[in-house]
Amino acid sequence: MSIFRRLVHALSALLLFMVGTQALAAGLLTPTDGSLPALDIREHQVNVIIEDGYAITRVDQVFHNPHQRDLEAVYSFPVPEKGAVSEFTMWIDDKPVHGEVLEKQQARQIYEEEKAAGRETGLTEKDSYKTFDISVSPVRAGQNTRIRLVYLQPTHIDTGIGRYVYPLEEGNVDEQKLAFWTASESVKEKFSFDLKLRSGYPVDALRAPNSPQALINQQDDQQWQMSLNRQGNIASTQNDAEGGATSTPISTQTSAYTLDQDIVVYWRHAANLPGSVDLVTYKPDAAKRGTFMLSITPGDDLKPIVEGRDWAFVLDLSGSMNGGKYSSLADGVQRALKAMSPQDRFRIVTFNSNARELTSGFTAATPENIAHYSQLVASQQPNQSTNLYAGLKQGLGSLDADRTTSIVLVTDGVANVGVTKQKQFLDLIRKKDVRLFTFIMGNSANRPLLEAITKASGGFSASISNSDDIVGQLLLAASKVSHETLHGVKIDISGIKTSDLTPQTIGNIYRGQQIIVLGHYTGDGNARVHIKAKVSGEDKEYTTAFNFPAQTNLNPELERLWAYASVDGMMQTMNDFGEEADLKQAVKDLALEYSLVTDYTSMLVVRDEVFTARGIERRNQQRLATEQTAQQQRAQSPVQSRRVDTQQPMYQTQRADTRKPSGSGFSGGGAFDTWMLMLLAPALLFRWTRRQ
């Protein structure tokens, strides 16, 4: 069995235990003491457009108050990964009123004052990395209230596969919130999810693994649509590519739709595409600075690793892992150990309120050791809290400097006992020369902490949804740990003035990963882009040259994407080293300038005359008008290629592809290739979980 096959089996075993787990869902919140009656979610309609390297998600909801008095609605849903809220609109007197961003305390105070006065008001707040909470008051007795939320996020292509997640599951980790609220998760009348993909590169398949009833339509090799609709006995139509209506019937269902599963969509680029560089810009005034997004998709020139390795498994044994989740994890560990080569060694550490090593140092992967420790893992009982620091510290012990060591951390929770400060985690991980590979389960795990420590180790993290195509995720992960890595990647842009680049540090790049950089540029003309890195201690360089345009106006959303990425970087710094007044003010300033919801700012809706009376500038209303005009122009234009290195290609090799893992011995040339495995995954996983 090749190393790639062994890694696939090992990672699949670890990921399979996530299937079938229970989680709370997005929905209307009602106090658990029953003091207020529950409201209804009448409609929940989602429209997604993916093009030019980012996604725009628009969510329209209708709340209904069936009672005889006015009530407040509070709706909560998980924060999308890298999602930046750009619009919160509330319909008042049948007219849309767009929200404006204010400092968090000021926005909350105005909301409470308007609510007390009985005037229409709405508020979108961010609860750290956990949820966006939307408050609306009043929902009039016996009437409907309509709101809209729009958010932006970058999209990545990883080893030829793109992935979009609409998050609906929550992770049961906020105990105070759970103790105070119950959630109404059902959409009574209409649920719809419509996604349009406009790709600059040919796409040969689109897939929604947990939505078998979805309708998928290919317009051409660069444009795809997916529609998922459920509703009661109401006539239904499907939107065509231009936004009009057709008479095509779609799935209907008389029962309510429950917002308890993420919606995951994958798309796969055509085979044999070259490594490439893409550039998207926004510079409406040639005399002023512009904003750019540079996406670099490396060629597949990283060699496979064939020598034996040491593996340390650090496994969450806290109370949230109770039930079938942990028994599945135990079975996964057994499968992972059986997949190891005779040259490999392993350690197993579990953690809840404390950490415990089940092995005695690194143990040879013999059949006897595998059988013994598999049984020992299965006998553990999940309980208590989550002392992540203790588990990680134990996993980092007893490393052998003469062997390559990797730590696989699997957790679905939040560090809530012992050491919880991010800086202390970073200090711990930086003391060791070891790669950390983190599988972040669910939408409520502490992504900022887990991603920060993973990046500090030079490893990679993967956010996993219960609705993910598990086979696809394990193939992507396996292809990375089985190949060499680009270490200490640095990008230099010369020939044109650039500034405010984010991220400021690239770090390590694994096989198939894209490099995405946002920043500002001044002027126009030819620029030279130079990438330097090391592979196995040897220098590696890639170079290309292309033009930055003097004026472009089709992608104004880049300004918010840049601002949010910059805010995210500053928040990571404060998580690492503690809150600083200057950084906190910088976050507020950027959020106010670019109308972003952050930990320190919220988006407020009041009546137009109240905005005027309170002297609140309609900055976001103006920005939304610019963005909506550009979106309409793009929709009416053919799909554009954003590749800029055609005259001087940066890479001489094709980009990595899951169908053909180079040098691994796992050929994708036959009919039963990786994509076929992904198509079969739901049935295979269903059969597996039933056997449990």
- For residue 252, the Cα-to-chain-centroid distance in whole angstroms is 30
3-state helix, strand, coil in the chain (%, to 5): 25, 35, 35
Q: Is the pLDDT of residue 236 over 70?
A: no
Domain assignment present for residue 330? The answer is: yes
Please give the residue range of the domain that contains residue 16: 3-20+308-481
Mean pLDDT of 123-150: 92
Lowest mean pLDDT among 174-178, 243-247, 326-330: 243-247
Q: Is the pLDDT of residue 101 over 60?
A: yes
Q: Is the pLDDT of residue 186 over 90?
A: no
Mean pLDDT of 462-476: 66
Domain assignment present for residue 368? The answer is: yes
Torsion of the alpha carbons at 181, 133, 612 and 120, rounded to the nearest 10:
-40
Round to the nearest angstrom and report the end-to-end CA distance of the chain.
26
Mean pLDDT of 650-665: 71
pLDDT tens digits, 188-198: 889 999 999 99
143 vs 38, residue with greater confidence? 143
Q: Is the pLDDT of residue 664 over 60?
A: no
Domain assignment present for residue 357? The answer is: yes
Q: How confident is the model at residue 419, as a pLDDT? A: 84
The fraction of the chain above a pLDDT of 90, given in percent, is 47
Q: Is the pLDDT of residue 692 over 90?
A: no
Mean pLDDT of 126-139: 89
Domain assignment present for residue 127? The answer is: no
Query: Treating both helix axes as pointing N-terminal to C-terminal, what angle do 422-430 and 447-457 enclose, rounded to 10 degrees?
Result: 20
Domain assignment present for residue 214? The answer is: no
Q: How confident is the model at residue 562, as a pLDDT? A: 97
472: helix, strand or coil: helix
Q: How confident is the model at residue 24, as a pLDDT? A: 55
Residue 418 — very low, low, confident or very high, per pLDDT cuts 50/70/90?
Answer: confident
The domain that contains 425 carries what CATH number?
Answer: 3.40.50.410
Q: How confident is the model at residue 98, as a pLDDT? A: 97
Mean pLDDT of 444-462: 82
Residue 320 — very low, low, confident or very high, per pLDDT cuts 50/70/90?
Answer: confident
Listed residue (224, 228, 273) closest to 252, CA to CA = 228
Q: Is the pLDDT of residue 691 over 50?
A: no
- For residue 98, the Cα-to-chain-centroid distance in whole angstroms is 26
Q: Please count the structural domains in the chain.
A: 1
365 and 341 Cβ atoms separated by less than 8 Å: yes
Mean pLDDT of 438-461: 80
Q: Is the pLDDT of residue 676 over 60?
A: no
Q: How confident is the model at residue 18, as a pLDDT? A: 44
Among 163-177, 255-269, 475-489, 649-663, which range has the highest average pLDDT? 255-269
Rounded to 5°, the CA angle 541-543-548 comes to 145
The string of DSSP letters for 70-115 reads: -EEEEEEEEPPTT-EEEEEEEEETTEEEE-EEEEHHHHHHHHHHHH
Query: How far is the C-alpha of 145 from the C-alpha of 132, rounded, in Å?
Result: 19
Q: How confident is the model at residue 4, as a pLDDT? A: 53
pLDDT tens digits, 198-223: 999 999 999 998 888 899 999 999 99
Mean pLDDT of 104-130: 94
Query: How far is the C-alpha of 290 from the C-alpha of 287, rounded, in Å?
Result: 9
Q: How confident is the model at residue 20, as a pLDDT? A: 41
pLDDT, the chain, mean: 83
- Bridge partners of residue 194, in order along the sequence: 47, 227
pLDDT tens digits, 518-573: 999 999 999 999 999 998 888 999 999 999 999 999 999 999 999 999 999 999 88
Amino acid identity for residue 295 in this structure: S
Name the DSSP class of 327. H
Mean pLDDT of 646-669: 68
Query: How far is the C-alpha of 598 from the C-alpha of 589, rounded, in Å?
Result: 11
Mean pLDDT of 95-122: 96
Exposed, middle or buried by CB within 10 Å (0-12, 13-18, 19+), for 125? buried
pLDDT tens digits, 237-258: 333 333 333 333 334 444 677 8
Contacts for 637 with CB less than 8 Å, ≥ 6 apart = none
Mean pLDDT of 494-499: 96
466 and 19 Cβ atoms separated by less than 8 Å: yes
Residue 103 — very low, low, confident or very high, per pLDDT cuts 50/70/90?
Answer: very high
Query: How far is the C-alpha of 136 from the C-alpha of 119, rounded, in Å?
Result: 11
Domain assignment present for residue 35? The answer is: no
The string of DSSP letters for 432-468 reads: S--EEEEEEESSSS-HHHHHHHHHHHT-EEEEE-TTS
Contacts for 140 with CB less than 8 Å, ≥ 6 apart = 65, 70
Q: How confident is the model at residue 686, as a pLDDT? A: 34
Residue 460 — very low, low, confident or very high, per pLDDT cuts 50/70/90?
Answer: confident
Size of the chain, expressed as the number of residues it contains: 692
Mean pLDDT of 603-607: 97
Residue 323 — very low, low, confident or very high, per pLDDT cuts 50/70/90?
Answer: low
Q: How confident is the model at residue 95, as a pLDDT? A: 95
Residue 331 — very low, low, confident or very high, per pLDDT cuts 50/70/90?
Answer: confident
Amino acid identity for residue 68 in this structure: Q
Mean pLDDT of 399-416: 78
Q: How confident is the model at residue 681, as a pLDDT? A: 37
419: helix, strand or coil: coil
Among 64-78, 254-268, 623-637, which range has the highest average pLDDT? 623-637
Biggest CA–CA distance in the chain, Å, is 77
- For residue 96, the Cα-to-chain-centroid distance in whole angstroms is 29
Listed residue (215, 232, 294) closest to 506, CA to CA = 294
Query: How far is the C-alpha of 33 from the C-alpha of 28, rounded, in Å?
Result: 15
Q: How confident is the model at residue 673, as a pLDDT? A: 35
Domain assignment present for residue 327? The answer is: yes
Q: Is the pLDDT of residue 661 over 70?
A: no
Domain assignment present for residue 9? The answer is: yes
Q: How confident is the model at residue 459, as a pLDDT? A: 81
Q: How confident is the model at residue 549, as a pLDDT? A: 97
Residue 334 — very low, low, confident or very high, per pLDDT cuts 50/70/90?
Answer: confident
Mean pLDDT of 45-54: 96
675 and 268 Cβ atoms separated by less than 8 Å: yes
Lowest mean pLDDT among 24-28, 178-182, 290-294: 178-182
Q: How confident is the model at residue 325, as a pLDDT? A: 60
pTM over 0.75: yes
Lowest mean pLDDT among 91-105, 347-361, 474-488, 672-686: 672-686
Say which residue the tokens 């949820």 belong to: 131
